[in-house]
Structure 1
Amino acid sequence: MMDPVSRRSVTLRASATLVLCVALAGCTRDIREPIPQDVPPRPGALLPPIDVDGPGRTATQLVDWAAGVSDSTGISTTALEAYGYAAAVMARSQPGCGIAWTTIAGIAGVESRHGTYRGASVAADGTVAPVIRGIPLDGGPGVAEIPDTDGGAMDGDPVHDRAMGPLQFIPETWQRWGVDANGDGVIDPDNIDDAALTAARYLCARGGDLTTADGWRAALTAYNLSVPYLLDVRDRANTYATRSLP
């Protein structure tokens, strides 16, 4: 996921993210038909009330909700807790946004298979290991050239930037938008709690009211300027919504 600073960089970086999506997550549709084609995607199973300001990893308050949704969607309980917590935080901090957990899940499904790409797994504290890194953004065929912005400290590449973690942020975007969501005092792109809330913040800032079709599309095209990507996220999100309901 890239942070555009100009129209040209939006196009280049979105193209890079699409290549990352294809190379990293495959962008395959592991979903069953028929599925709704609503935009924005349906919100899915209603989140129970939680105290978003609780100590530590407060996303665990959603464990019972997540366990039920996990059975029907195939997403891990820990990942669902992260998506639900991110949506709950935004509902309190930016009620005009209206982002649903299903949208965050749709993106994470495309980007990293919910933190499980290439044998990675999500620990109980939300840490994804082994770390997930995208291809070097070196200007190769179909790839934007983004010179290193972090000295390789975050993405492990001192020459070119790479997308990081379960939501695939590049270092400069993470440095601007990253947030600690699990209360461990570390803002970590390889933690699914931190990554999910960071993605939610970014999407709300870019799209405004995500309960509208225009707002949702604006948010998704800021995340990745690709119609196939948008449709893939939409389809996954609607599928998770449909499966999560009784």
Structure 2
Amino acid sequence: MTYHGHDNRQPSRVRAGCGCAGIVGVVTAIVLIVALTGWLFSIFKSPIVNTSRQLVPTDVPPAAGQEPPRIDVHASGRTSNNLAAWAAPIAEATSIDAQAVRAYGNAALIAAESWPACQLSWNTLAGLGWVETRHGTYTGRTFDSAALDDNGFVQPAIIGPALNGTNGFALVRDTDGGQIDGDTEYDHAAGPMQFIPESWQRYGRDANGDGQADPQQIDDAALGAANLLCADGRDLATAQGWQDAIFSYNLSNDYVVKVRDAAANYALNQPAHR
């Protein structure tokens, strides 16, 4: 620190001694340098992990991801669990929660049977899940993240902002008596796929076998999204059909690009983020 002004302090007398402090400091510095050098050599001797990413195509629709194996989607209980072996390596490569991968695959298989003309791929659902809530982990609050519990429910529940016509949000007055979003005045988007109550009442489906369609449960939410995308006889294997389907979720060109890029990354078996 620079001292401004006149210093009236007297210089201290030099004390007699051997100067050991200086020697100890030099020895300590030498030891630290040797340790640091050894650490650096250990890094460079270790194998370097290749973190390069494949370039993401801009095709619409994006390429389909690895197809899930056929399972009995009519079996009792949570049928998505039967995709565990298929989902595990994909989850590891893409950094998606394995439960979410299973849910997207399960929904795509149900869609293939229920709406065969739709040709919906699981990674398109995953692209939506990434953009909406990072697969059930983003709540919109910086220090309050969420996660899927062992049964696929988001904890804590994800409830979006009130659709009250302010701050760029649409005005959507309550349609569910607050049963889904806890608000009896305005609607909110809910769950990992961010359904507003009115849309959930139309498209929500039970996919985990508990007899109730819940937008906060990842299997149900993924199937609800598949139902919405495949509505009106859309063919998602065509550019127009895929784009119209994503527009039905959010009428924004920027949104379409973000979903496309995420889905294309997942088709390449790599994370959506950079």
Alignment TM class, shorter chain as reference: 0.7 to 0.9
TM-score (norm 2): 0.76
Structure 1: which 4+ aligned runs deviate by more than 3 Å?
Answer: none
Q: Look up the SS of the partner of 2:254 in the other structure.
A: helix
Contact 2:158 2:191 in 1 (8 A): yes
TM-score (norm 1): 0.84
Of 245, 263, 269, the match for 1:219: 245
Larger radius of gyration: 2
Q: Which has the higher contact order (CA 8 A, sep 6+)?
A: 1
Q: Look up the SS of the partner of 1:125 in the other structure.
A: coil
Of 56, 61, 80, the match for 2:82: 61
Distance in 2, Cα, partners of 1:221 & 1:69: 27
What value does the CA root-mean-square deviation take over the aligned residues? Answer: 1.4
Are positions 1:121 and 2:142 aligned together? no
User: What corresponds to 1:4 in structure 2?
Assistant: none
Of 70, 75, 96, the match for 1:75: 96
Are positions 1:231 and 2:252 aligned together? no
User: What corresponds to 2:173 in structure 1?
Assistant: 147
User: What corresponds to 2:58 in structure 1?
Assistant: 37
**Would you tell me which structure has more helix in proportion to its own residues?**
1
- How much identity, in percent, do the aligned residues show? 51
Contact 2:133 2:193 in 1 (8 A): yes
Gaps of 5+ in 1: 1-30
Contact 1:78 1:123 in 2 (8 A): no
Of 169, 182, 193, the match for 2:208: 182
Please show how residues 73-222 of structure 1 align to structure 2 within 5 Å: 73-117=94-138, 118-206=144-232, 208-222=234-248
209-218 vs 151-160, which moves further? 151-160
Kindly tell me: are residues 143 and 33 of structure 1, through their superposed partners in 2, closer, same or farther at Cα, counting changes over 3 Å?
A: farther
Distance in 1, Cα, partners of 2:190 & 2:83: 26
Distance in 2, Cα, partners of 1:32 & 1:132: 31
* Cα offset, 1:124, TM superposition: 2.5
Contact 2:80 2:105 in 1 (8 A): yes
Which whole-Å deviations, capped at 9, do the CAs of 1:83-123 have from their partners, x for residues lacking one?
Answer: 00000001111111100000000000000100011421112
